[in-house]
Amino acid sequence: QQQVKQSPQSLIVQKGGISIINCAYENTAFDYFPWYQQFPGKGPALLIAIRPDVSEKKEGRFTISFNKSAKQFSLHIMDSQPGDSATYFCAASIRGYGGATNKLIFGTGTLLAVQP
Amino acid sequence: SAVISQKPSRDICQRGTSLTIQCQVDSQVTMMFWYRQQPGQSLTLIATANQGSEATYESGFVIDKFPISRPNLTFSTLTVSNMSPEDSSIYLCTSEAVDGYTFGSGTRLTVV
């Protein structure tokens, strides 16, 4: 129940295209869903995150779509660029709104390659 | 967001030895988390460190192998004990900030 399933494992997209990465979870207590971007030799960097009270969140070229009933969420990268080539991880946590701190469960990761 | 600093950034160690990794946060945080990322893999939680109490370990990780200290609200250490080549990984710490969980660059450990 603590798992977060991520697909695809790898993705090749042409420059200017849309990259879509999907995640699914089982634990309905999860209330915080971030996406991380990781370049080789670096730690994961928080890209964008969503709470289950909204169905979509957009920041620049990055959009999270959230489907609470299906227990799924996805990352869309619009106008993908070669500089977006990295590994992307979805994650989930029971975070609460009162400062509670809980562990972050990660998906298996997606290696994105954007071809020029 | 919180800034995480880890030391060392990388090390090559002999099997059977131990390495202590330090994690410093630039603000006071309730909990710190230690993760392991094996080559080409995702991040797996090792343990949660709460100041003033014993760390809570995830299934598959034990205190004797990965002792953790949390002496104050901005600092924690993880020791990888009696190392074997299978311990070669990136070790990362994180804590929660108002805008989410922040990671440092991690410690890249190679055991030979």
- Delineate the domains of chain B, giving CATH numbers in brackets: 4-111 (2.60.40.10)
B74/B2 Cα distance (integer angstroms) = 10
pLDDT of residue B16: 97
Place of tokens 């915080």: A32
Whole-angstrom CA distances from A109 to A7, A26, A44, A102, A105 are: 8, 17, 11, 21, 12
pLDDT of residue B101: 85
In this prediction, the residues of chain B whose per-residue pLDDT falls under 70 are 1, 98
Residue A84 phi, psi dihedral angles, 5° rounding: -85, -10
| Cβ–Cβ gap B43/A95 under 8 Å | no
Fill in the amino acid letter for B38.
Answer: Q
A103 alpha-carbon distance from chain centroid: 16
Find the CB nearest B42 among A34, A95, A107.
Answer: A107
A74/B65 Cα distance (integer angstroms) = 36
Structural domains in chain A (count): 1
pLDDT tens, residue by residue, A42-51: 899 999 999 9
B71 alpha-carbon distance from chain centroid: 14
B29 alpha-carbon distance from chain centroid: 15
Fill in the amino acid letter for B62.
Answer: V
pLDDT confidence tier of residue A97, bands split at 50, 70 and 90: low
Show which of residues 40-79 on chain B sit within 8 Å of chain A, judged by CB atoms. Answer: 41-45, 48
Report yes or no: A42 and B105 within 8 Å, Cβ to Cβ: yes
| Cβ–Cβ gap A104/B1 under 8 Å | no
How many A×B Cβ pairs under 8 Å?
Answer: 49
Q: Report helix, strand or coil for A83.
A: helix
Q: Report helix, strand or coil for A78.
A: coil
> Contacts of residue A89 in chain B, CB cutoff 8 Å?
42-43
Tell me what percent of the residues of chain B surpass a pLDDT of 70.
97
Place of tokens 């760390």: B55
CATH of the domain at A57: 2.60.40.10
Kindly tell me if the per-residue pLDDT of A28 is higher than 70.
Answer: yes
A30 alpha-carbon distance from chain centroid: 14
DSSP lists the bridge partners of residue A74 as A22, A65
pLDDT of residue B72: 92
Task: Spell out the residues 6+ positions from residue B5 whose beta carbon is closer than 8 angstroms to its own.
Answer: B23, B24, B25, B26, B104
pLDDT of residue A83: 97
pLDDT of residue B53: 81
Expressed as residue numbers, the domain containing A67 is 4-115
pLDDT tens, residue by residue, A5-22: 999 999 999 999 999 999
pLDDT of residue A1: 63
pLDDT of residue A96: 65
Q: Report helix, strand or coil for A34.
A: strand
Would you call B99 an interface residue with chain A, using a CB distance cutoff of 8 Å? yes
pLDDT of residue B73: 92
pLDDT of residue A98: 56
> Contacts of residue B44 in chain A, CB cutoff 8 Å?
106
Would you call A42 an interface residue with chain B, using a CB distance cutoff of 8 Å? yes
pLDDT of residue A35: 97
Task: Spell out the residues 6+ positions from residue B44 whose beta carbon is closer than 8 angstroms to its own.
Answer: A106, B35, B36, B37, B38, B58
Would you call A78 an interface residue with chain B, using a CB distance cutoff of 8 Å? no
